[in-house]
A = this chain, B = another copy of it.
Amino acid sequence: VTRAHVVIVGAGFGGISAARALRGANADVLVVDRRNYHLFQPLLYQVASGLLDPSEIAQPVRTLLRHQRNADVRMNEVRAIDLERRVVRTDAGDLPYDHLIVAAGAVTNHFGNRDIAAHTLALKGLNDALTLRGEVLERFERAAECADERERRRLLTFVIAGAGPTGVEFAGALCELFSHLLPKDFPRLDFAPVRVILIEGRNRVLEAFRPRLAAKAEEVLRRRGVEMVFGRRVVGADERGIRLDDGTRIESATVIWTAGVRASWLGEQLTEKVGRLGRVAVRPTLQLAGHDEVQVIGDMAELGDRGEVLPMLAPVAIQQGEHAGRNVIAQLGGGAATPFRYRDKGTMATVGRNHAVVQLGPIRLSGFIGWLMWLFVHLLYIITFRSKAVVLLNWAWNYIFYDRPARLITEISPDIGTDTSNEEATR
């Protein structure tokens, strides 16, 4: 009797939790990812702002699955999925499967605007974060030697497009960096022209939060020096700056694009017609229509829950991963997959130094208490014990000394995970 082959595409929150749910299964589990690491995305902005190092929020997939005897890992790029032959095609050959769990996540979405793709920086992968860190620090180096006042202003203007959690958290972190730390490194530079501008198409920050909590966050951001522009979208970008939909031009040397994500382009291998933001419609069991052996989870899956489509969030992916694993175990035992139900455990976001907004069912917290809660939950979910220890150490260090450890400009090539390359590859 040959054991069943379960292939999991993607080693993000969904893929890893699916693999772990299959720990006791009588099957060979193979996790495929083009990276060798699992990334704790919620803290990515802290790498970009120089507070944490890559190895503190990313762990090798192999290390995470080291103690799971039935699991193996391949670092390969998935090129295609052949649903008829039940084969995943990679850059290093084919992987046949009896059960497939697709958890390839999401990529930055420039909504087809090539100017925006070319002239803005993303904040989605580890290489994005390292590039962004280097670029931000480099602007201050250039400003320090720049004699032209107008150019210096442009160099010191930082635009963040999109006021979701990533945009808001990064804006807060940037302000902290600019107000507490960099003035010590650049004692001769005038920091008055430094601007952090947050641009959002809706009329407030943090759409996923209640208006009152969002208003709190806005208040804190404003106090820390973030300028906010609501009801406006970035529609153009070039070497010198950006253009808004009302015609306003903002001269800026650094534009960070957090205004959209879309599901991985791999979705187009699974269905003839992808849904909104490239997601793949799945049945309530997470299974693909017509393919009981294929489940799609996390950011890639389009699934309604009490009348609303589930958001692209880590907790959804984690819970769906667990569920998908259980479904496979049920199917291996001759049973059937069961419908997925999402348990909303709440949302939270930090807004710079010791302030966070937290929404947990009926509980709403903000300020320092919220921040402690945020800290506790994030530490809890960081996967390895060592990372928990080192991240806490770095946070404490920064809290006490206002000093971020990781302010190095290393040379990084652009992340191949952004949708620009995928668009080119797929289109």
A interface vs B, CB < 8 Å? 35-37, 53-56, 58, 60, 62-63, 66, 69, 72-76, 92-93, 126-127, 130, 137-138, 141-142, 144-145, 184-188, 386, 390, 393, 397, 403, 405-413, 415-416
Q: Which 4 A-B pairs have the closest CB atoms?
A: A62-B185, A55-B406, A75-B141, A53-B53
How far, in whole Å, are A188 and B73 apart by their CA atoms in the complex? 10
Identical chains bound together, number: 2
How far, in whole Å, are A361 and B412 apart by their CA atoms in the complex? 43
Chain B residues, Cβ within 8 Å of A74: 141, 144-145
Chain B residues, Cβ within 8 Å of A406: 53-55
16 more contacts with CB within 8 A, not counting A55-B407, A126-B408, are: A37-B408, A53-B53, A53-B56, A53-B406, A55-B408, A58-B408, A63-B185, A66-B184, A69-B187, A73-B144, A75-B409, A92-B142, A127-B410, A386-B403, A390-B405, A412-B413
Q: Quick one: which of B145, B386, B415 contacts A405, CB cutoff 8 A?
A: B386
How far, in whole Å, are A413 and B397 apart by their CA atoms in the complex? 31
Asked whether, in the complex, the Cβ of A412 is within 8 Å of the Cβ of B411, the reply is yes
Chain B residues, Cβ within 8 Å of A66: 184-185, 187
Q: What are 29 residue pairs bridging A and B, where the CB atoms are less than 8 Å apart in the complex?
A: A35-B409, A36-B408, A53-B53, A53-B54, A53-B55, A53-B56, A53-B406, A60-B137, A60-B408, A62-B185, A62-B186, A63-B184, A63-B185, A73-B144, A74-B144, A75-B138, A92-B142, A92-B145, A126-B408, A127-B410, A127-B411, A130-B410, A393-B393, A410-B412, A411-B412, A411-B413, A411-B415, A412-B412, A412-B413
Chain B residues, Cβ within 8 Å of A63: 184-185, 407
A188 and B72 in contact, given A36-B409, A411-B416 (Cβ under 8 angstroms): yes
How far, in whole Å, are A76 and B142 apart by their CA atoms in the complex? 9
How far, in whole Å, are A93 and B146 apart by their CA atoms in the complex? 10
Least Cβ distance of A417 to chain B in Å?
10
Chain B residues, Cβ within 8 Å of A76: 145
Asked whether, in the complex, the Cβ of B386 is within 8 Å of the Cβ of A60, the reply is no
A126 and B410 in contact, given A75-B138, A76-B145 (Cβ under 8 angstroms): yes
Chain B residues, Cβ within 8 Å of A130: 410
Query: Can you name the residue of chain B whose Cβ is closest to the Cβ of A147?
Result: B93
Least Cβ distance of A167 to chain B in Å?
24
Chain B residues, Cβ within 8 Å of A386: 397, 403, 405
Least Cβ distance of A76 to chain B in Å?
7
Chain B residues, Cβ within 8 Å of A126: 408, 410
Chain B residues, Cβ within 8 Å of A62: 185-186
Chain B residues, Cβ within 8 Å of A410: 54, 126-127, 130, 412
Chain B residues, Cβ within 8 Å of A55: 53, 405-408
Q: Which of A76, A407, A411, A412 has the most CB of B within 10 A?
A: A411
Q: Quick one: which of B58, B75, B409 contacts A37, CB cutoff 8 A?
A: B409
Query: Can you name the residue of chain B whose Cβ is closest to the Cβ of A131?
Result: B411
How far, in whole Å, are A253 and B63 apart by their CA atoms in the complex? 24
Chain B residues, Cβ within 8 Å of A93: 145
How far, in whole Å, are A393 and B53 apart by their CA atoms in the complex? 15
Query: Can you name the residue of chain B whose Cβ is closest to the Cβ of A60?
Result: B407
How far, in whole Å, are A339 and B343 apart by their CA atoms in the complex? 76
Least Cβ distance of A420 to chain B in Å?
15
Chain B residues, Cβ within 8 Å of A138: 36, 75
Chain B residues, Cβ within 8 Å of A397: 386
Chain B residues, Cβ within 8 Å of A145: 74, 76, 92-93
Q: Quick one: which of B36, B54, B56, B137 contacts A36, CB cutoff 8 A?
A: B137
Query: Can you name the residue of chain B whose Cβ is closest to the Cβ of A409?
Result: B36
How far, in whole Å, are A215 and B191 apart by their CA atoms in the complex? 58
How far, in whole Å, are A406 and B393 apart by their CA atoms in the complex? 17
Chain B residues, Cβ within 8 Å of A69: 187
Q: Which of A53, A56, A92 has the most CB of B within 10 A?
A: A53
